[in-house]
Structure 1
Amino acid sequence: MADLPFRISEKAGQTKIQQLVHSISEAISSGQLKEGETLPSVNELSTESGFSRDTVFKAYKILKERNLVESAPTRGYYVTGGSFKVFMLLDDFSAFKEQLYKAFRNNLPNTYSVDLLFHHYNREVFNQLVNSSLGRYSMSVVMNIDHRSMEPVLKKIDPGKLLILDMGMPPSENISYVIQDFNKAVENCLEEGLTYLKKYSEMILVYDETETPHPAETVTAVRRFCENHNISFRLLKNTHGVEVKKEQCWFTIRDSDLVEVIKYCRSKGFLLGKDFGVLSYNDTPMKQIAGGGISVISTDFEQMGRLAARFVKDKQKVTEVLSTSLKIRQSL
């Protein structure tokens, strides 16, 4: 295989066809194989690699379908310009994820194509989507499932071409990340808003670890803040049959719980920000205007999108823990 213009990577779990597709794709992505460069013929690649002609032909066929390789009667197989393809795997679709994606897309050249998929915190779906992406993309931007560690399947991706978003500290210093702090940063935001929060006799956090895709460290941070300032703390799993009382401050993670709390209070004639308070996690354009403005603790998802785009374009390592901020609005 010494005469081949690229190295065939023998990755565990890959078929011979997948090995060829992955190896040639990587060589094109890295610039090892240039646009217009002629590739070995089916017979040559079969002889040098030891793979059957049928295997080589099928690998070339897949590469042609991905616009990475073309063939002509007089030239044989050669590298095309193709488009720079990015694999983007987010957890779910929401208003703030839309902000992230728009910032990401708007900061990439038009020649870059992005395949956007969602795993919805389902590990089986996550593993299937990552495995099917291998060898098909130039760069991968992934929202992890677990905030404590990186999902094992992600180790199959070249660490120099992988960016972890939102949560999940990579075990290797070679992997880039743009993530949040869901613990101390949350407590710092609450401390910043103490003047507004101390007028409430009780803080109620709506959070269910099995149903709410959010790190439990936030619960610890809120409880710690309340204990430090003698504010009564209560944890509820949901807002089913909710009964809101005056002088309570409700902290919701899910938007559906936020809606239920506000609907109940309106039915009772309570004034938002006066009779009771509301604090929400993750900012959206709607929260900026609903009810005169919903106070939030949030990171900047547009900045997250811009940093992700910079990583994809520049291919330079990035290690960012984004700041989390408190935005006081009418609801407090």
Structure 2
Amino acid sequence: MSVVFENVEKLKGVKPLTKHEQLVKAILDAIESKDLSKGDRLPSINKMVAEVGFARKTIVKAYEDLKGKGIVESKNNKGYYIADINTKTKLRVALVLYALHTFQEDFYNAFREELGKDYIINVFFHHNNTDTFKNIFTRITGRYGMYVVAPIQTPEIKPILEQFPEDKLLIVDRHINLDTSYSFIAQEFENSTYNQLLKLLEDIKKYEEFVLFYRGDTDYPEGIFNAFKRFVKEHNIKSSIKKQYTKGSISKNKLYFFISDSFLWELLKDSKTKNYAIGKDFGVLAHNDNVIKEIIFGGITTISTDFKKMALESANFVKTRENTNKIMPSELIRRNSL
């Protein structure tokens, strides 16, 4: 441990460095010189205060910065230890998403590419399960320098998220009402979906029935359900809402609106079996765009936000930590299926 103290003394004359930067560099230098190895215990905060003469909050800030890079970890209040000897890491990021849906995979790939190899990104999936969400944060709290989270929209999640400093938390995808100092880059579902349906009004009226597949006990956004009900009521459109698509139930002259890709694939398989032509014998509208929907059956019409753009803006927040409160617009992408 003495090498850390020696390194600090050497760096005290380096004027551009603040005291906490001197301590961070002293520890990194000790790792690079192999004087510190993975698993080694660092001096306690009290010991550091006594040896180097820095304020307690300065020592804590240095250790927390190193925790954010994944280089240091604290173990049940037993002290601070070297967790990783990769000193080139800029930041360790926890990315907490719903599940590995295709559109969330698009988000992850763009997010990772924009940040580059110097950022370590670990991905966790909560599957819209509150207990799973809580367990994830029990494991990861204090181990990352940044938390990028697609939250479950329930009140009990709020205190879990508000334990983090504002510059270490970004809410993405789904919005949740936190203190206004927290940043978010999220979607708005109800008005966005309704406005895009309005653009399709004349196309929708060509069909005998407009069918939405929606399950309230899943991660389906409630705003889509509300937008659909409002739209069909205001425009006197015959409609129905079903929990799931039943194999073989496809009918002519109906327009089907999918949130779940798995139900969409089942209907498309049935259309081939029955030799129904998409966009002529029946119509399809889907939520959340991806490259598959762009290609198959001449293209599926979608209502979607730009997940790659959301990812790029999220990566920019991780780099700059500049406060942002942004609702990403949904767009209508017209293709062959209507």
Report the number of matched residues: 286
Q: 1:85 corresponds to which residue? A: 92
| 1:302 has 2:291 as partner | no
Counting aligned pairs with the same residue, the percent is 32
| 1:143 has 2:117 as partner | no
1:199-210 superposed matches below 5 A: 199-210=206-217
Q: Which moved more, 1:296-305 or 1:228-237?
A: 228-237
Letter in 2 for 1:85: R
| 1:244 has 2:244 as partner | no
Letter in 2 for 1:160: D
Is the contact between residue 162 and residue 178 of structure 2 (CA under 8 Å) also seen in structure 1? Answer: no
Is the contact between residue 187 and residue 222 of structure 1 (CA under 8 Å) also seen in structure 2? Answer: yes
Gaps of 5+ in 1: 1-29, 50-54, 69-79
Q: CA deviation at 1:93?
A: 0.3
Question: Residue 95 of structure 1: which of 76, 89, 102 is its match?
Answer: 102
Q: In structure 2, what is the Cα distance between the partners aligned to 1:234 and 1:242?
A: 17
Q: In structure 2, what is the Cα distance between the partners aligned to 1:47 and 1:320?
A: 42
Is the contact between residue 87 and residue 115 of structure 1 (CA under 8 Å) also seen in structure 2? Answer: yes
TM-score, structure 1 as length reference: 0.78
Q: 1:287 corresponds to which residue? A: 293
Letter in 2 for 1:321: I
Letter in 2 for 1:279: L
Letter in 1 for 2:135: Q
Is the contact between residue 247 and residue 270 of structure 2 (CA under 8 Å) also seen in structure 1? Answer: no
Structure 1 counterpart SS, 2:127 = coil
Is the contact between residue 104 and residue 306 of structure 1 (CA under 8 Å) also seen in structure 2? Answer: yes
| 1:37 has 2:43 as partner | no
Q: CA deviation at 1:171?
A: 2.2
Q: 1:107 corresponds to which residue? A: 114
1:248-285 per-residue CA deviation (whole Å, 9 max, x = no partner) reads 10001101110121222222221100011001111110
| 1:60 has 2:80 as partner | yes
Q: 2:11 corresponds to which residue? A: none
Q: 2:35 corresponds to which residue? A: none
Is the contact between residue 149 and residue 170 of structure 1 (CA under 8 Å) also seen in structure 2? Answer: no
| 1:218 has 2:224 as partner | yes
Q: Which moved more, 1:250-259 or 1:121-130?
A: 121-130
Letter in 2 for 1:65: A
Q: 2:161 corresponds to which residue? A: 154
Q: 2:10 corresponds to which residue? A: none
Q: 1:21 corresponds to which residue? A: none
Q: CA deviation at 1:102?
A: 1.2
Q: Sort the Cα spacing of 1:112 and 1:271 in 2 relative to 1 into closer, same or farther, 3 A.
A: same
Structure 1 segments, 4+ long, off by >3 Å, are: 30-35, 37-44, 46-49, 55-58, 80-83, 147-151
TM-score, structure 2 as length reference: 0.77
Is the contact between residue 177 and residue 319 of structure 1 (CA under 8 Å) also seen in structure 2? Answer: yes
Structure 1 counterpart SS, 2:26 = coil
Letter in 1 for 2:26: E
Q: In structure 2, what is the Cα distance between the partners aligned to 1:59 and 1:134?
A: 16
